[in-house]
Amino acid sequence: MGCMDHWHPVLAAKNLRQKPVGVRLNGRELVLFRDGRGQIGALDDCCVHRRMRLSLGSVSGGRLHCMYHGWSYDSQGNGESPATPKMYACAPHYDVCEKYDWLWVKPTDARAEFPALDVAGFEFAGTLYHEMEAPLEIVLDNFTEVEHTPTTHALLGYSIDRMPEVETKVESTANSVRVFNAGPQKAISPVVAAVFGIHTGDRFVDDWTTYFSPVYTVYDQYWNDEKTGAEKGIRWRNVVFFNPLDAERTGLVTFAFYKPDPQGGWRNWLTFKPGLLWFVDREIRLDQEMVSKLADKSPSIEGMKLSRFDRVLGLNRARLASVYRGTPAATDLVGQGSP
């Protein structure tokens, strides 16, 4: 199984209307279009005739028409030439499904299962999209360790002077890597404390699992009272998909879910759903800015001095190779980054 052979969310459903739309995934350009008959087509964004971008064309009569010579295609890629009617052509096409307000694609011959999001009991807040100017490995590194949270994040994270107190545990299977973190919440303003029902010093839990077909991480984030240990405030479940656009850019599609604070009352009304999305968007933008400033964005971790929070870097790379890319890792990365 290669990089393309998984279900990837590639376009917000609301952004596909009457005109075709081009997207990029793993260095490949695709075009999506609605044929007007209830079907969504996903093809290589290249006319098989003279290689014009099909995303620059138009849709009529249930077919996608190339702007160059008028060749047209249905949602299955079956092509017709208006000048040579008996000629048969077929453009590579992909399976498409619409879920969680996004359009997902995979090759028709790929047997990958659609990622099952366990969100029972959670409310759907909406989706966000961000592009990171870094390769997949580097972006995943940032989103799967918490050592940067004191200096990067506004709300979600720990105080730098109390990082030695933060507990971190790593568990892995052949197809997943789980990281559990828990420690004292960093300083927050009284307004934020009131809105979210938490306080500086409460125990912030950041518990996530990364899967690799496709590459996505499910984050459970919640707080326990500093004194009683009881869970308090809201609970967030954010599911972030990491789409490699090419060798140097990664697209992030975030599906945000939440459980209201059972004691929240007015707080729940004030915060959700726009409030939650605003906070999640802000936190990701802070990651986006920090990653853009890296001096070296090479995916290699050779030569890095890694801490106890970085064991996950090697574990992720091993599974990116074996599960996502379908190739054996060049070296045994599982032990790299161990404290």
Placement of tokens 């596909």 in the chain: 16
Q: Which top CATH class is 8-107?
A: mainly beta
Residue 122 to residues 14, 44, 253, Cα–Cα distance (Å): 23, 36, 18
More confident residue, 339 or 161: 161
Give the start-to-end residue ranges of the domains of the chain: 8-107, 123-324
Average pLDDT over residues 305-334: 85
**207: buried, middle or exposed (CB in 10 Å: 19+, 13-18, 0-12)?**
middle
Strand order in the sheet with 94-99: 8-12, 102-107, 94-99
What per-residue confidence (pLDDT) applies to 38? 81
Query: Could you tell me how many residues make up the chain?
Result: 339
Q: Which CATH superfamily is domain 123-324 in?
A: Naphthalene 1,2-dioxygenase Alpha Subunit; Chain A, domain 1 (3.90.380.10)
What per-residue confidence (pLDDT) applies to 264? 64
Contact 139, 242 (CB under 8 A): yes
* Helix, strand, coil shares, percent, the chain, to 5: 20, 35, 45
The DSSP output letter for 253 is: E
Average pLDDT over residues 102-126: 93
Per DSSP, helices labelled H in the chain are 136-143, 149-152, 190-196, 266-271, 274-292, 312-319
State pLDDT tens for residues 123-140: 999 999 999 999 999 999
State pLDDT tens for residues 261-294: 766 665 565 556 777 889 899 999 999 999 999 9
| Number of neighbouring beta carbons within 10 Å of residue 124 | 14
Placement of tokens 């092509």 in the chain: 79
State pLDDT tens for residues 224-259: 999 999 998 889 999 999 999 999 999 999 999 998
Measured over the CA atoms of residue 280, residue 252, residue 8 and residue 36, the dihedral's sign is positive
